[in-house]
A = this chain, B = another copy of it.
Amino acid sequence: MSEQVHAMAVRAREAAQRLAGVSTAVKNTALEAMAEALCAHEPEILAANAEDVSAAQERGTAGAMIDRLTLTPARIAAMADGLRQIASLPDPVGEILEGWRRPNGLEIQRVRVPMGVIGVIYESRPNVTADAAGLCLKAGNACLLRGGSEALRSNAAIARRLAEAGERAGLPPNSLQLIESPDRETARALMRLNGLVDLLIPRGGAGLIQSVLENATVPVIETGTGNCHTYVDPTADLDAALEIIVNAKCSRPSVCNAMETLLVHEVIADEFLPMVEERLAAQGVELRGCPRACEYLSSAIPATEEDWKTEYLALILAVRVVDSLDEAIAHINAYGTRHSEAILTEDYSAAQRFLREVDAACVYVNASTRFTDGYEFGFGAEVGISNQKLHARGPMGLRELTTHKYLIRGSGQIRG
B17–A357 CB distance below 8 A:
yes
A389–B199 CB distance below 8 A:
yes
- Is A50 positioned at the interface, with any CB of B under 8 Å from its CB? no
Best-surrounded residue of A248, A388, A391, A414 (most CB of chain B within 10 A): A414
A355 to B247, CA, bound (A): 49
Contact stretch, chosen from A158-166, A294-302, A310-318, A358-366: A358-366
Question: Quick one: CB contact mask for A102-142 with B, threshold 8 Å, 1 for yes?
Answer: 10001010000001100000000000000000000000000
- Is A291 positioned at the interface, with any CB of B under 8 Å from its CB? no
Contact residues in B for A411 (Cβ distance below 8 Å): 366-367
State which of B246, B351, B357, B388 has its C-beta within 8 Å of the C-beta of A20: B357
Question: Quick one: CB contact mask for A196-229 with B, threshold 8 Å, 1 for yes?
Answer: 0011000000000000011001010100000000
A394–B406 CB distance below 8 A:
yes
Contact residues in B for A360 (Cβ distance below 8 Å): 405
- Is A184 positioned at the interface, with any CB of B under 8 Å from its CB? no
B17–A368 CB distance below 8 A:
no
- Is A96 positioned at the interface, with any CB of B under 8 Å from its CB? no
Nearest B residue to A13 via CB reads B333
Closest 3 CB pairs of A and B: A367-B410, A247-B414, A391-B391
A389–B198 CB distance below 8 A:
yes
Question: Quick one: CB contact mask for A393-409 with B, threshold 8 Å, 1 for yes?
Answer: 11000000001111111
A408–B364 CB distance below 8 A:
yes
* Those of A1-28 within 8 Å (CB) of chain B: 17, 20-21
A102 to B376, CA, bound (A): 8
**How big is chain A's contact interface, by range?**
35 or more
B243–A389 CB distance below 8 A:
no
Best-surrounded residue of A363, A370, A415 (most CB of chain B within 10 A): A415
B17–A367 CB distance below 8 A:
no
User: Given contacts A221-B390, A366-B410, A404-B393, are A415 and B237 in contact (CB under 8 A)?
Assistant: no
Question: Quick one: CB contact mask for A165-205 with B, threshold 8 Å, 1 for yes?
Answer: 00000000000000000000000000000100011000000
Contact residues in B for A144 (Cβ distance below 8 Å): none
Nearest Cβ on chain B to A348's Cβ, whole angstroms: 11
State which of B100, B108, B362, B414 has its C-beta within 8 Å of the C-beta of A408: B362
- Is A244 positioned at the interface, with any CB of B under 8 Å from its CB? yes
B390–A390 CB distance below 8 A:
yes
A-B contact pairs, 30 of them (CB 8 A): A17-B357, A102-B376, A194-B213, A198-B389, A198-B390, A199-B390, A214-B217, A219-B388, A219-B389, A219-B390, A244-B413, A244-B414, A246-B414, A251-B414, A351-B409, A355-B409, A359-B405, A361-B405, A361-B406, A363-B408, A364-B408, A365-B408, A365-B409, A365-B410, A366-B410, A366-B412, A367-B414, A370-B415, A393-B404, A394-B405
Contact residues in B for A247 (Cβ distance below 8 Å): 414-415
Question: Quick one: CB contact mask for A65-107 with B, threshold 8 Å, 1 for yes?
Answer: 0000000000000000000000000000000000010100010
Nearest B residue to A391 via CB reads B391
A390 to B403, CA, bound (A): 7
User: Given contacts A214-B217, A355-B407, A357-B17, are A371 and B412 in contact (CB under 8 A)?
Assistant: no
A409 to B365, CA, bound (A): 5
A185 to B287, CA, bound (A): 43
User: Given contacts A357-B17, A364-B408, are A403 and B415 in contact (CB under 8 A)?
Assistant: no
A408–B357 CB distance below 8 A:
no
- Is A55 positioned at the interface, with any CB of B under 8 Å from its CB? no
A365 to B412, CA, bound (A): 9
Nearest B residue to A212 via CB reads B217
